[in-house]
Each structure stands twice: as structure tokens, then as C-alpha cells.
Structure 1
């Protein structure tokens, strides 16, 4: 099932196909940042997960064979997938004054890649075992719980801490990973930290205060709040 935001619809703007409780929330956030900064116009189409399977609806496969969100359909009809690529396209095409530009493209690429590979892999493993625990009925739930303890003790906890220590150093005294202003690396990095924060895996404010403050700055941005309002739900803890 999908709903269309007619308030954001424009014949001259791209169309964002957005799925509830998914990483496409960060792309919707970026669209809102561009709207506030430049008056950027776009059409938002909200899609909803199947309540039984928690999978994306089949209608997304009509737009792209993988059937995953986010999907951005450009003005010329080009179908763009993968969050980092969509973010790059939006910024290169619509950030005309360089408000969100980076001063160091190599560092930006490293952070974006790190978010989806090193940190992303750890997050995905932790997420899978977390979901397995929540989806397995008693009395069989003791099996995934035992697996979860083993995975955390043997891998994910140490990897998360190593990653957070590295990222705190990268953030330094700046408000944003991009530097003085918000940028692509901040947009992309938000997804794993939303999972970490919403699912309560770490108390970032206590253990990694710079990262905790960075995430709070995101949650307090006007564009973030409007993206949450225009979207169709963003609660990773319920999956």
C-alpha cells in the first residue's frame, strides 16, 4: 500500500519512494533539508511494510527489481537506488550554493563507506539477533537469547565500542562529521545510530557524549522533525 504526499508533489521535482521504519528516512530528511534551504520541490510516496512479514510491499518491485526503499525517480525518469548514491545525486543536483558540501571529499567517502560496511555490518548482525529474540515465541526464545549473548560477548559489543571511539575522534570538536555544517556523511551515518539509539543497545550520552550530542542535534533539526511528520513511521524498536 502506498500514499502520496500531494503537498510535496511537483511536476518539476523528483519522486521519493519511502518505506516506513527503514533507512529511507534519512533520504526523506535530506529532501527536507534541501526544501528548507532552497525551496526544493519533490513528490513523496509513502509505502508501508506488510504487517505479517514486515517486508516491503510488492509494488516497489514495479519501480525497481529489488523492491527496496529508498528509490528516487529523477525528473528524466532515471531510477536511482542506494542511499549514499541518492544522497550524492541530490546534493550534486540541488545543493546549488554548496551549503552541505564537504571540504574533504576523501574523508567524506571514507565515513560514508564506514557507515555502511564496518559499522553497518556490526549493526546488521546485532539487529538480526535482536529481531530473532523478539520474533521467537516462548519457550523456544531461550535459543536466540543464548545466541544473542554469545554474539554480543564474542563480537558486536567490542566492535561497536571500537567504532564509537574512532567516530568520536573523527567528530572532534565539530558539531558535524562534515565539519562546521551538516553534510552527506552525517545523513548516511544517522541510520545505524537510529537503530542503536532506538533499540537501546548503548547509552551514547553516557558512554560516548560527543556522539550522543551529535544525534541530539539531528533530532532537534527542523528538517528532521518535518521529515518525521511527512513520513509513515520510524520506529526501529518495533521490528
Structure 2
């Protein structure tokens, strides 16, 4: 049986959501953050040296990194067409946005979060430059959603599952407003209406209201 090792309020929500979309049976092992540091508990380090989530186990398999887990599960279990085929006209767009979340958006948010913790002056040039980079990244998502209902095109795909965490739960750690981005907000309403997303969020973080506005 597949087991998802899920750290509350983390990128591992992606894997729960993917399994719900695929109708894939799984067991869920919850881990809670340290209430002071907000870091993962040491139990996760006993599964993987980095001590971070998500991790999946299945028999002898131990696999970390949300992108790798997504590709592994899609390659073995994709019965919904969530991974676009190389023959699909939108295949290149799918690959770009599938990798955009952890290759661009999430790292920019991580840098912004660390800089905020330094309590720099608002006119600090490093802070200003990073704010500009993050703004350009969000602008790109907004532009993309102006001509497409979903990131890869007209159809929902795994690229959406990868990206949504950064637009929602990540705002617990890096508060920011999406009010300048009406297309992103409309997109999040489409995501929030998906039954699989609702089930995943309820199972992964019961009691947490998804940040869709």
C-alpha cells in the first residue's frame, strides 16, 4: 500500500491531491510542525536524510521531492490524462508549468520569506530587487491565465496540482495579497470547486480553510 508521509501545511498536500484526482488508494501518515520553529519533526529524518515532506513509501520504495513523486505516480497510475502526452499540442506548455512551481515560483517565495525575516528597511536594494522578481513571476501566471483556464491550456493537469500550493497554503508563511491578480483568483475558485481538491485538503489539513481568495 502506498503511504504518503504528510507534514501539515506543506507541499506534501500536492501528493494527497494527486492521489485523490487519480482515485489511487493510499494511507496517510500525518506529521506536525514544531510549534516554535515551524520545522518538521525529527521523525521525518528517519525516513529521508533531508527530514522534509513529502515522502512516499511503498514496499521497499522510499521517495522524496514532490516533483519526483508526482512524476513517479503519474507514470504508473495516470488514468485521467493529468500528464500530457508528447503528442499533445500543449505538451511543451505542460512541461514548462509543471516545472515552473518548484523551479521559479516557490524558490522566489522562499527567498522573499527569508528576507522578510531579516526585517530590512523597505528601501533596501536587495529586498526591492527580490520583490520585483516575485512580482514578475506572479504577473506571468496572471498573464497565462488570461488566455487559458488552466496552466497547460483548456484542461486541468498535473501542472496545476504542482502550482496551487504556492498560491494558497504558502501564504501562511509568506503573507501576500492576490487582489492585483483577478485571473489568478478566478482560477483558484475553479480549483476550489474540484471535489478531489476538497477531499485532499480535508484529509491533509482538517480544519484549515484553503486560501483561495
Indicate the residue corresponding to 1:217 in structure 2.
190
1:161 correspondence with 2:129: no
User: Is this contact kept in 2: 1:129–1:148, CA < 8 A?
Assistant: no
Indicate the residue corresponding to 2:14 in structure 1.
26
Alpha-carbon offset, residue 66 of structure 1: 1.3
Task: State the alpha-carbon separation in 2 of the partners of residues 65 and 218 from structure 1.
Answer: 33
TM value normalised by structure 1: 0.75
1:175 correspondence with 2:149: yes
**Counterpart secondary structure, 2:156:** coil
Task: State the alpha-carbon separation in 2 of the partners of residues 165 and 188 from structure 1.
Answer: 18
Indicate the residue corresponding to 1:230 in structure 2.
203
User: Is this contact kept in 2: 1:27–1:87, CA < 8 A?
Assistant: yes
1:99-148 per-residue CA deviation (whole Å, 9 max, x = no partner) reads x1323333222223222132222211122234x2xxxxxxxxxxx43346
Task: State the alpha-carbon separation in 2 of the partners of residues 126 and 97 from structure 1.
Answer: 36
**Counterpart secondary structure, 1:107:** helix
Task: State the alpha-carbon separation in 2 of the partners of residues 20 and 228 from structure 1.
Answer: 10
Q: Which has the larger radius of gyration?
A: 1
Alpha-carbon offset, residue 196 of structure 1: 6.0
**Counterpart secondary structure, 1:16:** strand
Alpha-carbon offset, residue 65 of structure 1: 1.5
Alpha-carbon offset, residue 52 of structure 1: 2.5
Indicate the residue corresponding to 1:85 in structure 2.
68
User: Is this contact kept in 2: 1:129–1:147, CA < 8 A?
Assistant: no
Task: State the alpha-carbon separation in 2 of the partners of residues 147 and 117 from structure 1.
Answer: 28
Kindly report which structure 2 residues correspond to 1:201-212, keeping only aligned pairs within 5 A, or say none. Answer: 201-202=176-177, 204=178, 206-212=179-185
Indicate the residue corresponding to 1:50 in structure 2.
34
RMSD: 2.6
Task: State the alpha-carbon separation in 1 of the partners of residues 39 and 63 from structure 2.
Answer: 20
Q: What count of residue pairs does the alignment treat as equivalent?
A: 205
User: Is this contact kept in 2: 1:50–1:56, CA < 8 A?
Assistant: yes
Alpha-carbon offset, residue 63 of structure 1: 1.4
Indicate the residue corresponding to 2:46 in structure 1.
62
User: Is this contact kept in 2: 1:22–1:236, CA < 8 A?
Assistant: no
User: Is this contact kept in 1: 2:106–2:166, CA < 8 A?
Assistant: yes
**Structure 2 stretches lacking a partner, 5+ long:** none
Task: State the alpha-carbon separation in 1 of the partners of residues 123 and 205 from structure 2.
Answer: 33
Cα 1:92–1:165, aligned 2, differ >3 Å: closer, same or farther? same
